[in-house]
Structure 1
Amino acid sequence: MAGINPDLVRENLAAAGAAPSDDDECPIKEVELTVPKTDDPTMPVLTFRMWVLGITSCVILSFVNQFYWYRTEPLSISSIAAQVATVPLGHLMARTITTRVFFKGQWCEFTMNPGPFNIKEHVLITIFANSGAGSVYATHILSAVKLFYKKQLAFLPAFIVMLTTQVLGFGWAGLFRRFLVEPAEMWWPSNLVQVSIFRSLHEQEKRPKGGTTLNQFFMIVLICSFSYYIFPGYFLQILTSVSWICWINKKSILVNQLGSGQNGLGIGSFGLDWSTIASYLGSPLASPWFATANVTVGFCLMMFVVTPTVYWNNIYQAKTFPFYSTELFKSDGSRYNTTAIINSNFQLDKVAYAKEGPLYMSAFFAMSYGLGFATLTATIVHGYIGQDERDIWEIEES
């Protein structure tokens, strides 16, 4: 959203002969100032270069992100990288590919190069890239079966599991379309960032006196962010988490529990790595203040109130285990052997489970699991109550 000039938006709309009216005004000001209301239906969309660049971006990002997902420090390439990288490729294809019309005069007439590379093609390419950028959730299941339980799933059941989890998301989106898609209030801040990038890369602007165009502003930010990130991301990775309180007494368990930014509460610790700063909400620059504040309050309650209370009160023997860990433990603090409680049919062996004893988790891991289940219920309740309030408001207005 940074760099968007409202006056310039209105001038462009007016020049296109579609100046916004009061009836078309969006109730969300960020959307009103960022997303143009005009459309050019003559722009070609389903072009040869769109299919080539879109499918290629989807395949590359899905392979790279899934390949590096298994690292302790996973490397993730977002769709924004493909969004920027495909611009010169699109323009190159528009200049070099033949403009010849195949099967001219027939129903199947087409050309591989219908004209200049346009914003609609670019948007579809980015949608392709975004589809491949995210890791398939069911990969966690298949990886756990193979790595932890030493079992092997055949291709067909593994494919069905992965396909089911992917399609399930589209199904829920369709069921809750009335609540989560259609209302104008349900806007996605991160998408506005991509809209700004699309406009910066495609709109032709006249440079204001003493200022910069959107394209120039984008390049300046790109160069500066890369120059900054190379230090904590490559040269000085210690800047990811500076836990200065741990320097007071490195051997003290209590000091490390309070001050460690990676294995404790992280009190007083700070990070100079942007991926650390933005990890909890994607990007605080894109998210509105109320969303950032809401996540911050929830984090502080869970991290600094609920979890320490559970741990230092030794609820469910919490002090027997590390303060922060994703491992599974026995009651004596040793690691739990999950393969010992699974029989040859890959089912729970109740006799072996009774012998091994119940599972235990660290206080933070248990609270995270509980919060994860709570968010599912909270999302449904929030959407249902919000729709009821919207219906009441519409009735009162009518």
Structure 2
Amino acid sequence: MALHEKEKRRRGGLTRTQFFLIAFICSFAYYVFPGYLFQVLTSFSWICWIFPKSILAQQLGSGLYGLGIGAIGLDWSTVSSYIGSPLVSPWFATANIAAGYFIFMFILTPIFYWLNIYKAKTFPIFSRNLFKSNGQTYNIPAIIDSNFHIDMVAYEKEGPLYLSVSYVITNGAGFASLAALIVHVALFHGRELREQSRSSFQEKTIDIHTKLMRRYKQVPEWWFLVILLPSIAASLFACQKFNDQLQLPWWGLLLACAIGFFFTLPMGIITAITNQAPPLTTITQYIIGYIYPGYPVANMLFRVYGSISTVQAITFLHDFKLGHYMKIPPRTMFMAQMFGTLIATIVYLGTAWWLMETIPDLCEDPSSIWTCPTDTVFYNGSVIWGLIGPQRIFGDLGTYSAINWFFLIGAIAPVPVWLASKVFPKQDWIRLVNMPVLIATMAAMPPATAVNMSTWIIVGFLSGFVVYRYKPDWWRRHNYVLSGALDAGLAFMAVLLYFGLGLEGVGLHWWGNELDGCPLASCPTAKGVVVEGCPVHH
């Protein structure tokens, strides 16, 4: 590799380090525009500008509050904020995501909305908020008692909780994707799993990378146990000692760990193949919500231990796989991961504490840049699944009980693909149809919006098809470098803008900084529904 770098330099080409610096500087300089000077570049919804008084047009064209038809974001943060960089996703996975997005966003969502299924027209077509039956925002604090439990008297007075049609479909997709994950892995990778399991127990050397890594001392299993067992013990102690605050009983913690352990293998397989995987958030919240309803904090903790632990495990494996191919000693990689985790935890906790102390109305002021979409969805999830409970929303006492059929749909979906791959074995493209990834497209929405998904798909297709096809050697050499440079440049400029201008309240107030420019996209279209800032239909 080093000789190749020198050869490229002699021919007048750029080394990857030089390319990284150039891309980093360009990303750093460009983010001044979408990050401060011309923020409408984050979601360029041109249809809303053509039809400024049409609710329908703005519902169709809004990239942040609608279906996002024609909307595009000329901002790397719009592209990579929620499902990662499209540059590192294989093209077939991008195609699966695009197909799933088209089906759910442009077919199912409009059908549900314009047929007024579940009173969909009473609420915005796309929203992460929670609503009452009259279209007003649900008053969540009113149904929480002093111990963070549900106040049933207040809940009966407030009435049942409703979701926007996109939020309903997102939950349905979450149900289906988990069922599809299990069935897909069993059908397509069951034999491979058995063979790999046998070979691992027999300690057979599989490839050249494994042979080369034999030179280094492996990480002994007791190192992992030293991390795992005290962590579980400390978590159990915290749950028991501070049960009034945390609400999660000891058996809930162990059940969450068991769920994470069970799903790590199938999720790891899908992630290794597609760089995408359906999240476990829905199923973990669903399980504890049924078993232990009325406890929102317990629901959040169960979600963290059951789903985030799996994500962290796969990230850990990803780093080890990178070290495997880069020939980094496993023990060195292990220590780097441990120290990195420790440092990141301290920095995250300190940053969160500082933000809560210094920014008034954090995540609550819609006019502020600190709208916290991910945290809002996390909080709303604890209300849906924990405080009120799935039985009162998706169960026999709820409005959306029919959404449970998505479990069956997800379980059936991989079967026709598997059968087609057996009937037509020479058609290799059939095996590239990955139902867990296709169905899980909506899992990130919300907090991801239409413009996030559509722009991600566009960039993914351009990078994976056009550029790779016509410049394959250059693209293989610079693809990951470009992705990292874009991320780094954006991050540094975002921090600089906030500390240099944001803390002082220095902002530009003009039409170019009015995000989306689609004020009517969130308006209901049902007759007689009164929402501030929206016309009333008669």
Decide: shared fold, TM above 0.5: no
TM-score, L = length of structure 1? 0.45
| Higher gyration radius (CA) | 1
TM-score, normalisation: structure 2:
0.34
Between 1 and 2, higher relative CO (CA 8 Å, sep ≥ 6) is seen in 2
Q: Which has the higher helix share?
A: 2
